[in-house]
Every structure is written in structure tokens, then in C-alpha cells.
Chain A
Amino acid sequence: MIEIVNLCKAFEDHVVLDNVNLTLRDGETIVVIGRSGTGKSVLLKHIIGIMKPDSGQVVIDGQDITRLDEKELNALRLKFGMLFQGAALFDSLNVRDNVAFNLIEHTKTDDAAINKRVAECLEMVGLHGIEELRISELSGGMKKRVGLARAICMNPNIILYDEPTTGVDPIGADAINELIKELHGKLKTLAVVVTHDMVSAYKVADRIAMLYKGKIVEVGTPEEIKNTKNPVVHQFINGAATGPITED
């Protein structure tokens, strides 16, 4: 379980997170929606501890990770998988070494076992035979999927997805949605999916939370969100150009 308690973060005088409170339950897939630039990525970076809050806590299984030192954090991070918005693959390494990064750096797995695991992970994201390619040879959608393969390589308990379907064609996007659901079914992972793609949100979410002006303005099941009375959420999920969000 992850509890985000009164989380605040500002960059100089630009307040991005303003008292965010959210509880993520084990085994659920929670989708965080919100406009570009509201701080969804910043929120994810706090959950995995690569950004430090100005105040507030991120409590993972009873442990406040904002107080951990680097060694303790790193032990914890091996249970995490994170897919970055731009995939953030290492372009000095080929696909295989990217996917197997954790295995190579943090375990003593032999080459044959690594190759097998890399092939498995790539298969899961619908790719094969690209182990030796350089990152610069991949298309945008392939990068996302390789990023996903890297995130799931260590069978994490918690997976953070930053806009997994953005920049991927509709068919590829649906494959990613299916994958998120499948992983969720198989590994019973806690998944946090950040997106503004409502098709994807409805498809994968157990619950949806909306981030607006630094706060979580509504949390609920996809059904509850669809029938929301909150005008801000209503405008966002219907993609209307006029409404409270665009008025100020």
C-alpha cells in the first residue's frame, strides 16, 4: 500500500503539488488523469523517491520513503518498475542491455539466463529479435515498449507508467493497455498509470484520480468518474474546450 500524505512541491515559486492526498491499495490499478503540466510526472517521481517533497510523506508499506537514505531507497527501488514519459532508454546501450539493466548491474545472472529473460520480457510487450538494435534505430512506439520491458524485467510489485500510450499508434496503444491489464492479473502488481488518454484510463483503471491545480479533486471508479458532478472533471473527461478549466 502506498499512502501519499499532504505532499507539497514547488519549483521556486511555481507550486506544482499542493497538499496531495491519495491512498493506493495493493493490487489495484489507479489511473491519474490531468492536463499536461499539472504535475503528474512530478507526482510519480515522488512515489519512487527521485524527487524530494517540500513537505508531506510518501509511505510505502508503513515506511516513509522521503526519510530513507540512498542505500535503503535503492533496495526498495528494485521492487519498482517505472516507464518514463519519453521511455528514457540509455542510448549508449543496445536493447538487450537496456532491458536487462537491473539484472546486469544488481545480480550475478549469467549471460544465457539474461538472454532468456530479455527475450521473455520483449515477447510480453510484443517485440522479438531486436535485442542487438541500438536505441536510435527504434521508433517512438517501440521505445515505449522497450521501456516497458525494462520496467517489468525484475517482476516488480509496483509499476509506475508515465503516459504509456502517448505517441503510440492506436493498435499499439491497445496492446499496451492489454499488457497493463495482463500484468496486473498475473503479477498482482500495484500499478499507477498517468495519462490523459481517457480510452486507456477507462480500460485499465480500477480507480481514477484527477489531479488539478496541485490537488486531487476527485477519486472514484471509472463509473463514478463518468457520472461525476464535479464540473472540472466533467470537462476533462469529455474533452470540452469550454468549461471551468479553460475559464481562468
Chain B
Amino acid sequence: MDGWVSRLGKRFIAFVNYTGGVSVLFAKSIFWIFVSPPKRKQILDQMVKVGIDGLPIVFLTSMFTGIVISLQTAYQMQKISATLYIASIVALSITRELGPVLTALVIAGRTGASITAELGTMKVTEQIDALETLATNPIKYLVTPRFIALFFMLPLLTVYADIIGIFGGYMIGVFKLHIGANLYMTTTWDALKLKDIMTGLIKSFAFAMIICTIACYEGMRVEGGAEGVGGATTKAVVTSFILIIAADCLFTALFYFGFSF
């Protein structure tokens, strides 16, 4: 009797449970921001962990991305003698798409994973139970500060990634393809509009909420010791990756069809 129908049913119930659990956690993390905001020090600690500590890896990824895009486009553009377009192609693809998405993926892998591992360890060593016995709501104490920190730091990191990425493209354009430095920069500025940066940033606010909610949800429901923590960490990263890419798709479509962006 345990056929595919019942397995599918179980899967479906698990999916509904998961979605429900994540939504409730999301709502509660926002609820606590307004009802009893965390102490400034707690938020700052988390901001340092997310933001400052994330700078090097974001630097590397966006630098290389800028370089790669300009090299790949140069390969095409040289055929039609239009290498100058590289400046605008790099600027637009970085700010609209690759800056926000790659930064989110890198931070999901780095900060998201570490949040899950930290909260998961706290769960299996009963520290989360201990918080409750000390009359402290675990979501308020653990999730909300991380939520606020990511919500502000991910967009800031994205702006940073945009700048570094454009700089990567600039290096190839100016030093390898011998486009004039001034010309490269003016072309970049002409191509960029505020809305390009804004659409990128709107995405990254959404990505921040995804990363934090999934990472905390997976961490807080870990069962079964160190092995459970490992499994939850993997699951948090995979789920965040999928949701980030799905959300990106959705936003891009919305911006493209829906609004006059």
C-alpha cells in the first residue's frame, strides 16, 4: 500500500510544513524588530560578522567576474570593432544581475552556512532550551539581530561588489584593450542609470531575507548531534541557492514586464 501516491502525499505534507515553518519564522523575526528591538551591540556584532568579514570573498568574486565578462565580451566585440561597448556591458550586467546574485550566493555559502551551524550547535547542546528557561525568546535573541544585520549588510556588500566588478572590467578595458581611461569611465557612467543600481539593490534586500530565514530555520530545528548540524548546514545552503535564483528570475521578469524599469 505504501505506493507512490502515499509517498507523494508525505512529500507534499513535508513541503507544506516546511513552507509554513519558514513563513512563521519570517513573520516572527519581523514581529520582534518592532515589539522589542535587539540591543545595538548585538546588531553591530552581527553586522561585523556578515559585512566586514565578507569583504575579502566578495572582492575576489566580483573582481574576477568583472574581468571575465569584459574578456568574454571583448572576444565578440573585437570582431565588429566595438570594444568600447565593453564598458557599458560590464556596468549593466554587474549592477543589474551579477553583483546582487553572486554576492547573495557567496554570502549564503559563507554567512548562511555559519548561522545554521551556530544555531544548530546551540540547539543540540540545549543552549536554545537554556535561553527559554532564562525567559528569553530565542527568535528575538538569535534570529532578529542576524536578520537586521543581513538586511542592511547584503545590499551594502552588493554596492561594494558593483564597484569592484566595474573596476575589474576597467582594468581589462584600459590595460589590455587600450580603451582610454577617461573614455571608459564616461561610457560606464552614461550607460548606468540609477534604476539599474536600484533594481539590483531591491533584489539584494529580498535575498538577505531569504538567506537569514532559511539559515535560522534550518539551524533551529536541528536534531541529532553533530551529524544533524552538518546535514542542516548543507540543506540551508542548497535551499538558499535555489530560492535566490528563483527569486532573481521572478524579480527580473517583474522588472522586465511589469514595471517601466
- A and B: interacting chains: yes
Binding site for B on A (CB under 8 A): 45, 48, 50, 70, 73-75, 77-78, 80, 82, 84-86, 88-92, 101-102, 105-106, 150
* Contacting pair A77 B135 (CB below 8 A): yes
Residue of A nearest to B127 (CB): A88
Decide if A85 touches B126 in the complex (CB within 8 Å). Answer: yes
B134 is an interface residue with CB less than 8 A from chain A: yes
Q: Assuming A88-B125, A88-B126, is B133 touching A82 (CB within 8 A)?
A: yes
Which size bracket describes the interface of B in this complex?
10 to 19
Distance in angstroms between the alpha carbons of A102 and B141 in the assembled complex: 13
B57: Cβ under 8 A from any A Cβ: no
* A45 B135 Cβ-Cβ under 8 A: no
The docked-state distance in angstroms from the alpha carbon of A14 to that of B46 is 40
How far, in Å, is A92 (CB) from chain B's closest CB? 8
> A72–B202 Cα gap in the complex (Å)?
40
Q: How far is the CA of A80 from the CA of B136 in the complex (A)?
A: 13
Quick one: closest B residue to A41, CB to CB? B126
Judged by a CB distance under 8 angstroms, whether B53 is at the interface is: no
Residue B130 at the chain A interface, CB threshold 8 Å? yes
B105-144 with Cβ < 8 A to chain A: 118, 122, 125-127, 129-137, 141
Contact residues in B for A70 (Cβ distance below 8 Å):
137
- Is A50 a contact partner of B135 (Cβ separation < 8 A)? no
Q: Kindly state the separation between the CA atoms of A78 and B127 in the bound complex, as whole angstroms.
A: 17
Nearest CB in chain B to that of A77: its residue: B135
What would 17 more interface pairs be, CB under 8 Å, given A50-B129, A101-B134?
Answer: A50-B132, A70-B137, A77-B133, A78-B135, A86-B126, A88-B125, A88-B126, A88-B127, A88-B129, A88-B130, A89-B130, A90-B127, A90-B131, A102-B134, A105-B135, A105-B141, A106-B135
Number of A-B residue pairs at CB separation under 8 A: 48
Q: Contact: B136 with A84, CB < 8 Å? A: no
Q: Which of A75, A80, A85, A89 contacts B133 (CB 8 A)?
A: A80
Minimum CB distance partner of A79 in chain B: B135
Chain B contacts of A75 at CB under 8 A?
135
CB distance from B69 to the nearest CB of A (A): 40
- Docked-complex contact B134 and A84, CB < 8 angstroms: no
Q: Measuring CB to CB, which residues of chain B are less than 8 angstroms from any residue of chain A?
A: 118, 122, 125-127, 129-137, 141
- Name the B residues within 8 Å of A45 (CB-CB): 129
**Which residue on B lies nearest to A85, using beta carbons?**
B126
A-chain residues with CB within 8 Å of residue B141 when the two chains form the complex: 105
Q: Is the pair A90, B130 in contact by a Cβ cutoff of 8 Å?
A: yes
Q: Are B126 and A77 in contact (CB under 8 A)?
A: no
Evaluate contact between A89 and B127: CB separation under 8 angstroms.
yes
Judging by beta carbons under 8 Å apart, are A74 and B135 in contact? yes
Query: What residues on A are CB-neighbors of B126 within 8 Å?
Result: 84-86, 88
Task: With CB as the reference atom, state the residue of chain A lying closest to B131.
Answer: A90
B133 touches A50 (CB 8 A): yes
Alpha-carbon distance between A101 and B133 when the two chains are bound, in angstroms: 11
Bound together, the chains give a CA A70 to CA B135 distance in angstroms of: 9
- The answer for the CA separation of A91 and B130 in the assembled complex, in Å, is 12
Q: Which residues of A contact B131 (CB under 8 A)?
A: 90
Question: Complex: how many Å from CA A74 to CA B133?
Answer: 8
B143 CB to closest chain A CB (Å) equals: 14
Closest to B124 in A: A86
Max chain A C-beta neighbours (<10 A), residue from B129, B130, B131, B136:
B130
A89 to B133, CA, bound (A): 12
In the bound complex, how far is the Cα of B134 from the Cα of A89, in angstroms?
11
B118: which A residues are within 8 A, CB to CB?
A: 92
